[in-house]
C-alpha cells in the first residue's frame, strides 16, 4: 500500500567528501538505481552519486516512458522481462507513486517484411513466456479502433504484434523514487558536481577529478548516458558507442481517446496519450551523431505528418512542446554493462533509445557486480568484450525507438 503523506519530498544537500567506497558518475535512472540496490541489498552505503546538472536531467527525464519486454534474443528477453517485473512493484518498493499504467503495445506491420518480423517477434516472445501475439488487420482494428487502417491512404495496416502488458510509468517519479530511498539508506547525492577527469594509478581507477576537487573511490561506475565516451576518453580507451540525438514532442491536452501505445517500424514513429491527455509522439534517432539537444522543425513536420496518417484526429491538435535527449548507441542495439580494461572502472551504458525500461534490472545487477566482483548471469551477455569475441546481441530489429 502506498502511504499518502511523505515527510521528505526533497533531497538533502550533502557535503562532498574526500573518499567513498563507490563513486557513481551520473544521476540518471541507472546511477540512482545502482546506488539504491548497493545500499539496500548489500549494505554498501558509503556511496556518492556525482551529477553535474540535476538528477533525471538526462535521458531519464526526457524519455517517452514506454515499458515492454518484447525483445528478440533470449538474452535480451530474459533481461527486459526481469526489469518489467521489477517495475510492476517499484512504486510499492520505493513507496513513491509512479502512475504506472498498463496500456497494451501494438507494433504495426505495413509491409511483408514487417509482417514476418512481427510474427517472429510474437513466436520468440511466447517461447520465453512473454505475452505477445500476432494480430491480423481486423484484430488490430478491434484493439485500437482510433487507427486509420488505410495508413492515410498510403500505408495500409496489415497486422501487428500485440504485447498486452506494455505499459508507461512516470520517468521523473522513477528518478526521484530511487534518489529519495537511496539517500534515506545513506547514499550521498551531489547535484552540480561534474567529473572532469579520472585518476588512474597502475591500471587501476582510484578516484575522480571534479569541479569540487579530487574524490577517492574504491570503485567508479560511469552511468552518464549519452556522454559515456567522454568518460572512456578520460580513462584512455575507446568503446564502440556513438551518441545520437533523439527527439519527441507532445500535443496540447485532448480528451482521453487512445488507450494503447502504437508503434510502427515502417513509419518510424510511436504514439501514446499521457495521463494529462497530451498525445506523445516519438521517432527514430536523428541520423547524425551529435551532443546537441536542440530540437528541429524538420523532425516535427515529418513526424507529425506520419502520426496523422495513423491517427487523423491529430490533425486538429496544436503542438505543445518538443524536446531532445542523447542516446548512447551500440552497434548491436543492446546495452553495454560491466567491467572495463581499467581495473575498478565499470560502465552502465549503451542504453540508447531503450534504456529507461532497463533501469531496475540493470541497477540491481550492477550493484551485485560491484559488491561481489562476480558478473550476474543476467547481464553477462552484455559485457564490453562481446564485440571482440564476435558475440554481439543483435536487437536492431526490435529495439525500435523506445
Ligand atoms: C526522446 C527519448 C525517448 C526515449 N524513450 C524511451 C522509452 O520510451 N523507453 C525506454 O526504455 N527508453 C527510452 N529512451 C532512452 C532512455 O531515456 C535512456 O536510455 C535512459 O534514460 C538512460 O539513462 P541513464 O541513467 O543511463 O542516463 P541519463 O538519464 O542520461 O543520466 C546520465 C546523467 O549523467 C550526467 N553526466 C554526464 N556527464 C557527467 C559528468 N562528466 N559528471 C557528472 N555527471 C555527468 C548527466 O547530466 C545525466 O543526468 C528515450 C530517450 C529519449 C532521448
pLDDT for 296-319, tens place per residue? Answer: 999 999 999 999 999 999 999 999
Report pLDDT for 100: 96
Give DSSP secondary structure letters for 372-386. Answer: HSS--TTTGGG-GGG
- What's the CA-to-centroid distance between 39 and ligand 1, angstroms? 22
CA-168 nearest atom, ligand 1: 8
Given a cut of 70, is residue 9 above it in pLDDT?
no
pLDDT for 222-249, tens place per residue? Answer: 999 999 999 999 999 999 999 999 999 9
Given a cut of 90, is residue 344 above it in pLDDT?
yes
Given a cut of 70, is residue 86 above it in pLDDT?
yes
Q: Which of 1-5, 215-219, 269-273, 305-309 has the lowest mean pLDDT?
A: 1-5
Report pLDDT for 397: 73
Give DSSP secondary structure letters for 201-242. Answer: ETTEEEEEEETTEEEEEEEEEE--GGGHHHHHHHHT---S-E
pLDDT for 12-25, tens place per residue? Answer: 989 999 999 999 99
- What's the CA-to-centroid distance between 361 and ligand 1, angstroms? 16
- Mean residue pLDDT of the chain comes to 95
Pocket of ligand 1 contains residue 351 by CB under 6 Å: yes
3-state SS assignment for residue 321: strand
**345, 222 contact by CB (below 8 A):** yes
Q: Which CATH class name applies to 19-64+171-240+331-399?
A: alpha beta
3-state SS assignment for residue 41: helix
**251, 221 contact by CB (below 8 A):** no
Given a cut of 90, is residue 398 above it in pLDDT?
no
Report pLDDT for 396: 84
Given a cut of 70, is residue 281 above it in pLDDT?
yes
All three cell numbers of 98: 509512479
CA-355 nearest atom, ligand 1: 19
The best mutation among 167, 211, 224 to test binding of ligand 1, ranked by most ligand atoms within 8 Å of the C-beta, falls on: 224
pLDDT for 35-68, tens place per residue? Answer: 999 999 999 999 999 999 999 999 999 999 999 9
Report pLDDT for 400: 65
- What's the CA-to-centroid distance between 40 and ligand 1, angstroms? 23
Q: What ranges do the domains of the chain cover?
A: 19-64+171-240+331-399, 105-164+242-328
Pocket of ligand 1 contains residue 356 by CB under 6 Å: yes
What is the share, in percent, of the chain residues with pLDDT greater than 90?
94
The best mutation among 249, 262, 281, 356 to test binding of ligand 1, ranked by most ligand atoms within 8 Å of the C-beta, falls on: 356
Given a cut of 90, is residue 78 above it in pLDDT?
yes
Q: 318-334: b or e for each residue (b if 16 or more CB lie within 10 Å)?
A: eeeebebbbbbbbebbb
- What's the CA-to-centroid distance between 153 and ligand 1, angstroms? 37
The best mutation among 26, 81, 178 to test binding of ligand 1, ranked by most ligand atoms within 8 Å of the C-beta, falls on: 26
Report pLDDT for 273: 97
CA 289 distance to own-chain centroid: 19
3-state SS assignment for residue 195: strand
Q: Is the dihedral of CA 344, 57, 42, 68 positive or negative?
A: negative
20 - beta bridge partners? 217
CB atoms within 10 A of CB 213: 10
Closest C-alpha among 160, 145, 178, 222 to residue 61: 178
Residue 2 banded pLDDT, cuts 50, 70, 90: low
- What's the CA-to-centroid distance between 176 and ligand 1, angstroms? 14
Given a cut of 90, is residue 182 above it in pLDDT?
yes
Residue 402 banded pLDDT, cuts 50, 70, 90: low
Looking at residues 320-346, what average pLDDT do you find? 98
Report pLDDT for 190: 98
Same fold, 19-64+171-240+331-399 and 105-164+242-328: no
Residue 4 banded pLDDT, cuts 50, 70, 90: low
d(CA 315, CA 305): 8
Question: What is the value of pTM for the model shown?
Answer: 0.96
- What's the CA-to-centroid distance between 158 and ligand 1, angstroms? 34
The Cβ-side half-sphere exposure at 148, using a 13 Å CA radius, reads 16
Pocket of ligand 1 contains residue 62 by CB under 6 Å: yes
Looking at residues 171-192, what average pLDDT do you find? 97
User: Which architecture characterizes domain 105-164+242-328 according to CATH?
Assistant: 2-Layer Sandwich (3.30)
Pocket of ligand 1 contains residue 57 by CB under 6 Å: yes
Looking at residues 138-145, what average pLDDT do you find? 98
Report pLDDT for 6: 53
Residue 220 banded pLDDT, cuts 50, 70, 90: very high
What is the share, in percent, of the chain residues with pLDDT greater than 70?
97
Amino acid at each position: 500500500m502506498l502511504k499518502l503523506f511523505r515527510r521528505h519530498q526533497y533531497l538533502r544537500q550533502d557535503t562532498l567528501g574526500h573518499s567513498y567506497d563507490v563513486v557513481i558518475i551520473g544521476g540518471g535512472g541507472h546511477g540512482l538505481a545502482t546506488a539504491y540496490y548497493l545500499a539496500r541489498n548489500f549494505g554498501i552505503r558509503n556511496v556518492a552519486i556525482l551529477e553535474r546538472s540535476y538528477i533525471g536531467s538526462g535521458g531519464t527525464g526526457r524519455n517517452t516512458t514506454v515499458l515492454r519486454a518484447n525483445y528478440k534474443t533470449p538474452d535480451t528477453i530474459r533481461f527486459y522481462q526481469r526489469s518489467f517485473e521489477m517495475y510492476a512493484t517499484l512504486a510499492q518498493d520505493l513507496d513513491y507513486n509512479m502512475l504506472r499504467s498498463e496500456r497494451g503495445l501494438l507494433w504495426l506491420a505495413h509491409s511483408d517484411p514487417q509482417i514476418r518480423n512481427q510474427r517472429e517477434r510474437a513466436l520468440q516472445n511466447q517461447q520465453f513466456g512473454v505475452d505477445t501475439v500476432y494480430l491480423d488487420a481486423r484484430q488490430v482494428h478491434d484493439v485500437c479502433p482510433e487507427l486509420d487502417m488505410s495508413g492515410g491512404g498510403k500505408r495500409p495496416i496489415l497486422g501487428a504484434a500485440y504485447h498486452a502488458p506494455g505499459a508507461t510509468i512516470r520517468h521523473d517519479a522513477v528518478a526521484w523514487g530511487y534518489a529519495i530511498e537511496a539517500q534515506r539508506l545513506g547514499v550521498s547525492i551531489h547535484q552540480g558536481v561534474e567529473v572532469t577527469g579520472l585518476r588512474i594509478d597502475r591500471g587501476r581507477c582510484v578516484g575522480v577529478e571534479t569541479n569540487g576537487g579530487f574524490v577517492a573511490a574504491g570503485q567508479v561506475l560511469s552511468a552518464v548516458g549519452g556522454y559515456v565516451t567522454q568518460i572512456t576518453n578520460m580513462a584512455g580507451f575507446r568503446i564502440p558507442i556513438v551518441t545520437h540525438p533523439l527527439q519527441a514532442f507532445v500535443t496540447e491536452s485532448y480528451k482521453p481517446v487512445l488507450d494503447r501505445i502504437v508503434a510502427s517500424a515502417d513509419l518510424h514513429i510511436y504514439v501514446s496519450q499521457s495521463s494529462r491527455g497530451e498525445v506523445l509522439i516519438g521517432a527514430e534517432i536523428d541520423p547524425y551523431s551529435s551532443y546537441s539537444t536542440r530540437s528541429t522543425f524538420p523532425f516535427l513536420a515529418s513526424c507529425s505528418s506520419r502520426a496523422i496518417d495513423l491517427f487523423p484526429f491529430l490533425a486538429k491538435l496544436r503542438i505543445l512542446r518538443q524536446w531532445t535527449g542523447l542516446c548512447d548507441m551500440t552497434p548491436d542495439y543492446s546495452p553495454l554493462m560491466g567491467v572495463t580494461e581499467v581495473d575498478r572502472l565499470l560502465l552502465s551504458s549503451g542504453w540508447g533509445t531503450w534504456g529507461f525500461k532497463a533501469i531496475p534490472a540493470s541497477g540491481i545487477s550492477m550493484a551485485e557486480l560491484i559488491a561481489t566482483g562476480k558478473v550476474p548471469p543476467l547481464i553477462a551477455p552484455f559485457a564490453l568484450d562481446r564485440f571482440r569475441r564476435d558475440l554481439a546481441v543483435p536487437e536492431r530489429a526490435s529495439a525500435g525507438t523506445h
